[in-house]
Structure 1
């Protein structure tokens, strides 16, 4: 996976001036969530290039794949996670679809090295505190702690090349900032079903260091 140039761009950064606090929660989800349950966050700042968001702690169901192809990993992982929400869990319960589908990418050490992809579905609000356990060995429950993230949004259909391009653009936008963020991984987020042709919404997330 061509991530070496991206990793080089992950340097320290972010300015917290001109903060704009907008709360997004279960009762006020963004339009790009398409009416589905989405993680709760507060918008702290908006610029032309990115938002700064503060996210609440959240529960997810996840699967992990080692490989060099982001798109292939996503297809395989989606099948595993879709089986879970279709009833492959200890409660044999159908779990509603949510948004977004996220992928944590830990880039390989070089162009010929495998990357670590952890793909996750957000757990619906009614299951956040009592999530059915997966029955498949390669699917597991996970959580993301309360954190701040620097989020770049973009439209259209997204794939490996597009996410890397947008991650590079986010890195460039943060070059001259001064607050640290995590350099060892980044997240991608897709909000739309494959058959939705218009008004698609995708994101790249860099997590702030605590």
Structure 2
């Protein structure tokens, strides 16, 4: 009896630490089997604060003046890795979301620098097959808290920029501290999904999160 109780606790701890779960546990994930999970720290009508565990992602970097066109190239590069362009010839399941870390310091005359990442499935978190493309690499994102705002429609850089500026204004008004050097653009849906799409913008929390109650 003690053994089984200990086993249950161990499995629960492993699940809690993994940060990846069945997509049925998230209302955002409707097209993949597994999804990035989070702990909701607090929320109000303007934004929410989430805690994410440290996990392994497969990533690629790009620099481009025309960000949306370059997004597609990066996506194809990572998707090829999932569908066999790796040393094992393995096919890995797609997960959600797709996360793009965008450098905010680029001026109008400079190309935008960003990192696109796919979350590795739970089966491959510890030992994923090595990419055959030298532009694709593994990225172990640190545990973090983020400020989040959500929006519908398509994950276009112009729309994400407006959402990021709006969130930054809200955080500044609340006196919240966050990393100003970059933001995250986050998408949960494939191009085949036409309705009820879900996208997000994240800023990484610095210090204690600020989440004033609604008036």
Question: What's the TM-score bracket when you normalise by the shorter of the two chains?
Answer: 0.7 to 0.9
Q: Which has the bigger relative contact order, CA under 8 A and spacing at least 6?
A: 1
Give the alignment partner of residue 91 of structure 1, picking from 82, 88, 94.
88
CA contact (8 A) 2:106 2:113 kept: no
Unaligned runs of 5+ in 2: 1-18, 208-215
Rounded to whole Å, the distance in 2 between the matches of 1:132 and 1:43 is 32
Q: Which has the larger radius of gyration?
A: 2
Unaligned runs of 5+ in 1: 1-23
Matching residue of 2:27: 31
Rounded to whole Å, the distance in 1 between the matches of 2:51 and 2:38 is 5
1:205 is the counterpart of 2:202: yes
Give the alignment partner of residue 116 of structure 2, picking from 104, 119, 134.
119
Give the alignment partner of residue 106 of structure 1, picking from 98, 103, 107.
103
Q: CA deviation at 1:92?
A: 1.1
Higher share in helix: 2
Q: Spell out the pairing of 1:115-154 with structure 2 (5 A cutoff).
A: 115-154=112-151
> Aligned to 2:173, what secondary structure does the other structure show?
coil
Matching residue of 1:184: 181
Superposed CA RMSD in Å reads 1.5
CA contact (8 A) 1:100 1:121 kept: yes
Rounded to whole Å, the distance in 2 between the matches of 1:82 and 1:33 is 18
**Moved segments of 4+, more than 4 Å:** none
Q: Normalising by the residue count of structure 1, what TM-score does the alignment of the two structures yield?
A: 0.84
Q: How many residues are aligned here? A: 187
Q: Normalising by the residue count of structure 2, what TM-score does the alignment of the two structures yield?
A: 0.82
